[in-house]
Amino acid sequence: MPRNRIIALLLAASCAPALAAPGDRNPQVSRIVEEISAQRIEATIRKLVSYGTRNSLSETESETRGVGAARRWIKSYLESCSKGTPLQVAFDTHHVESAPRVPRPTDIVNVVATLPGTQPESRDRVYIISGHYDSMPSSPTDGEKDAPGANDDASGTAVSMELACVMSKYKFDSTIVFMAVAGEEQGLLGSTGYAKAAKAKGMDVAGMFTNDIVGNTKGADGRVDRSRVRVFAEGVPSSKELPDNVIAALRTSGENDLPTRQLGRYVKEAGERYAQGIKVDLIWRRDRYLRGGDHFPFLEAGYAALRFTEPSEDWRHQHQNVRVEDGVQFGDLPEFVDFGYVAQVARVNAAALASLALAPSVPREVEMENLRLEADTTLRWKPNPEPDVAGYRIVWRETTSAAWQHSTDVGNVTRHTLTGVSKDDFIFGLQAYDRDGNLSVAAYPKPYRPAPATTPAK
């Protein structure tokens, strides 16, 4: 190509107000999704299993067995795969004197890999992806017996590590934290330590994913399902006292539009847009019955947090001593992990996480004007702080629908009226988009009504 033609193209690109339509596929996200490797994920899971046990109470001195050797390997693997990138890998240690499942003083050590955001206005906005590398045999306090934990949760740890290695070679507006946490089987201790510290520091965690048990495709009932992943999204928090913003949303039936459900809706949309052959089953529930996960402490700290889990679990291969009983193999062994499926789950995570970290923040102070009885809908909002924001999209759906059904792009304004669309009949949301077409998570508008002028009593 002649040089002046290249210059002309470069000029055209840099002067263009919008390079891509909102919601278009972003080529960077597509590349990341393509680079996810089932072979590397398999190697990571097998390596983690090779430590015999990764129970948080297991030994820490050996280089070949126990939780200490496992975490040192995770840290060195992340350091070597991200060489030459800005990824910062560190241990995050939380000392526990005693707890119901911690009979003696124990250090619970997370491995935390941080990829700093490159846009000053977005750098403090953080997305977290986590899997727990600790494991357990039948007893959570047994640090001696083998606890291979191939599915629970080397699978989720491998997702987090694979994304760290692939994504650290790319640039994102906001910061991404890739974690392998410990002490999950001890009572979510590693994630609790991290989430509490994040809240105390006032960290802006805009979304958290835990991948826990994402590798088995043959359920206890024999049903095989490689085509879906469950994403659990809490609605109204289960705390005794609700924050004011939650109560305000409930007054206009915004219970399905709190930040965690908005994040879940976004993950389903982004995941299915880029990952082929896998659907996201969004489940409007905190977690499965009788189970919990590392998203809990983040939810309790007031952050939006989701749990990814396979659709068909086989409990003979979770939290079980490795043994054969009546000809049935028990134990969380790698032969019961479908590595290709773990890679598919990783692709959904990668698509969602990369989309989030490239996109603007959720629009703020979004209000629905309530000035008179009318058949139209007017939204107004504060402009987003990011300099590359190119406009806003209003989305809406029927009050009984789970997913957005309609949308309109209204340009770079801070107020818009949808004529003939009644605010009484739909749920609305507002997304921001940037020049590359990256869409933010939606914001739920709160009603705006000016204080009534004081009139003399009649």
**434 neighbors 366 (Cβ within 8 angstroms):** no
Residue 436 touching Zn ion (CB under 5 A): no
Size of the site for Zn ion (CB under 5 A): 3
Question: How many Å from the N-terminal Cα to the C-terminal Cα in the chain?
Answer: 81
Residue 294 touching Zn ion (CB under 5 A): no
Residue 313 touching Zn ion (CB under 5 A): no
Smallest separation, CB 153 to Zn ion (Å) = 4
Residue 338 touching Zn ion (CB under 5 A): no
* Residue with smaller CB distance to Zn ion, 170 or 339: 339
* Residue with smaller CB distance to Zn ion, 186 or 384: 186
* Residue with smaller CB distance to Zn ion, 191 or 217: 191
Residue at token pair 């990824």: 87
Smallest separation, CB 108 to Zn ion (Å) = 15
Phi, psi of 402 (to 5 degrees): -85, -35
Site stretch for Zn ion (CB under 5 A), options 123-131, 209-217, 230-238, 419-427? 209-217
Distance CA 23, CA 30 (A): 13
**208 neighbors 192 (Cβ within 8 angstroms):** no
**362 neighbors 443 (Cβ within 8 angstroms):** yes
Q: Which of 320, 417, 335 is nearest to 376 (CA)?
A: 417
Residue 153 touching Zn ion (CB under 5 A): yes
Residue 152 touching Zn ion (CB under 5 A): yes
How many other CB atoms are found less than 10 A from the CB of residue 274?
Answer: 20
* Residue with smaller CB distance to Zn ion, 152 or 173: 152
Site stretch for Zn ion (CB under 5 A), options 212-220, 221-229, 253-261, 358-366? 212-220
The H or E element containing residue 298 is helix 295-300
Residue 212 touching Zn ion (CB under 5 A): yes
Distance CA 270, CA 348 (A): 8
Distance CA 222, CA 24 (A): 39
Distance CA 49, CA 331 (A): 12
Smallest separation, CB 347 to Zn ion (Å) = 21
Smallest separation, CB 319 to Zn ion (Å) = 8
**354 neighbors 273 (Cβ within 8 angstroms):** no
Site stretch for Zn ion (CB under 5 A), options 7-15, 153-161, 202-210, 298-306? 153-161
* Residue with smaller CB distance to Zn ion, 153 or 234: 153
Please report, as residue ranges, which positions from 12 to 71 form the binding site for Zn ion (by CB under 5 A): none
User: Which positions touch Zn ion (CB under 5 A)?
Assistant: 152-153, 212
